[in-house]
Amino acid sequence: MTNYNKSYICIVFSGILLGTIPIFAKLLTQQNIGSLIQILSRLVIPIITYLIFIFFFTRDSNFFPNRNEYPLFLINGLLLFLAFTTYILSIFLGTSPVKAILLIKLHPIFALILANTFLKEKISFNKLFAIIIGVLGAAITIKFWEINSLIVMQKSDFFALANSILYASIVVYGRYNIGNELSNPFNMTIWSFIFAFTWLIFFIFVILIFNESYLISSMLKFNFNYKVLLYIIGMGILSTALPYMLMYYGLKNISSSNAGILLLIEPISVFILAAFILKDKIYLYQLVGGSLILSSYSLLYIKD
């Protein structure tokens, strides 16, 4: 198997695992767990997981980066933190979850634009056609025709749109750093999460300074039991630690614009996992949308 094929598989599995986010988010919400706790679980659990892996399996002396890498991690950590929070804010401020997901699934378009602008990746007919088919497929899987005020943008919708741009930026920035060997995938992942957690602490500190503590308390609901613990660990490892590690390894050999399209497999993962875990039904429109997403992959199975 070629390195390109291995990277292709890494990106696809990353998208599949990212599809567990809505599942765990719904399970935690049902347990009355606030959004801030969910964000913390997506930052703290991966850090703990990576550190345990280093201690028991690698003891890699390259774990501590050189000083030139720290600015890279600081920026990427900020992108991660903002990506994790903008989606929550869009829902918190009134955007319907379905509309938020649709806006977020526009990320391949932004990835294509950013990659062309900053990385000089070519915009080919295959990529454009694959994006159109893939985004259309993702829109169908979430029944975009049932969204109220689809065209009208309210303030909260811009947070979801910002999330889409940030998600694309994470992919493009990761490709830039790893593709140019400015950092390795493992360090890029763990140190970005460490800095993302630092940004979260800074964000909480700023909110407290401006006496907006009610925002924290409204998102800090916590009801501990063994189910909550399992869901938090699951969200931290399956929904975050593993997919981001796989994504950064995949970006060694996959262009960021192609990676953005491959990550669209997430909606397929969501409705399949929801059927097994939440006992939801699988509908024809989901199969049609999923088929369109998978068909877009055939246009990308040629190395750039």
- Its pTM stands at 0.92
* Residue 62 binned pLDDT confidence (cut-offs 50, 70, 90): low
pLDDT greater than 70 at residue 219: no
Domain boundaries, the chain: 3-297
Greater model confidence, 63 or 169: 169
pLDDT greater than 70 at residue 61: no
* Residue 304 binned pLDDT confidence (cut-offs 50, 70, 90): very low
Greater model confidence, 57 or 279: 279
pLDDT greater than 90 at residue 301: no
Convert the chain into a string of H (helix), E (strand) and C (coil): CCHHHHHHHHHHHHHHHHCHHHHHHHHHHHCCCCHHHHHHHHHHHHHHHHHHHHHHHHCCHHHCCCCCCHHHHHHHHHHHHHHHHHHHHHHHCCCCHHHHHHHHCCHHHHHHHHHHHHCCCCCCHHHHHHHHHHHHHHHHHCCHHHCCCCCCCCHHHHHHHHHHHHHHHHHHHHHHHHHCCCCCHHHHHHHHHHHHHHHHHHHHHHHHHCCCHHHHHHHCCCCCCHHHHHHHHHHHHHHHHHHHHHHHHHCCCCCHHHHHHHHHHHHHHHHHHHHHHCCCCCCHHHHHHHHHHHHHHCCCCCCC
